[in-house]
Structure 1
């Protein structure tokens, strides 16, 4: 079985990340998470591409540059509830479709992407903190 990296390569992952942030930047369905980002999405496109390259089975570009990181840490300052989680997943699914991802790749990534989105969710509701910093996962 191939890894997502083998199916996409670094160029394909970068294309996916560019599409992801372009969709986030323009789609009303992603307005909540778009407001969490700086005006210039270029640095985030690069960071996500570096992270996903390693996460999808390629070279650990992100870890080599920034060190190992738990995905919840960089997202902790943001209020991420079900709305934000679902907007992120929607953008990623749209980006996969826009870039012509195969059904094999979409199926391969579906559950892992849902797990990432659930792991960075840190509020039960949008704008409502959880008690004692507990992370909501589902």
Structure 2
């Protein structure tokens, strides 16, 4: 990854974002240790998948495709109806980190994403435990 290259470009663009998000939600469904995380989502995950794909595309430095369709992300406000404590944060992070590993996102891009995901997930917490 170069100083001028976005994470989006470094990991492979939209195809890799799609792969990452699909793997994330597949793991959430398949792995029992992500059950609490899965329970926070609707039965049909297609809208959740699309929103996360669109959001991550812009968040990683790719084109802004989320805002024109859904408005400002207002990430924390949109998640306030859900109890997000340490357990929920940690499940989300473990699921995303495993998805990154399974999608072969490595090196400095992976390190930067892991740090950014942690900071964002921790900021989303709205419950002390």
Band the TM-score falls in, shorter-chain normalisation: over 0.9
Deviations 1:60-102 (A, max 9, x none): 1101111112210110000110000000000000000111112
Higher RCO (C-alpha 8 Å, min separation 6): 2
Residue of structure 2 aligned with 1:21, choices 14, 22, 25: 25
Structure 1: give runs of 5+ residues left out of the alignment.
126-138
Q: Of 100, 123, 126, which aligns to 2:127?
A: 123
C-alpha displacement of 1:23: 0.5
1:114 — aligned with what?
118
SS state of the match for residue 66, structure 2? helix
Q: Deviations over 1:25-68 (max 9, x none)?
A: 11111111100111111111110000000000001110111111
Pick from 4, 7, 10 the counterpart of residue 7 of structure 2. 4
Instruction: Please tell me the root mean square deviation across aligned C-alpha atoms, in Å.
Output: 0.9
Matches within 5 A, 1:57-136: 57-125=61-129
State the number of aligned residues: 125
Work out the CA distance in 2 between the residues paired with 1:73 and 1:25: 25
| Structure 2 runs not aligned, ≥5 long | none
Runs of 4 or more, structure 1, over 2 Å off, are none
From 45, 48, 62, the counterpart of 1:41: 45
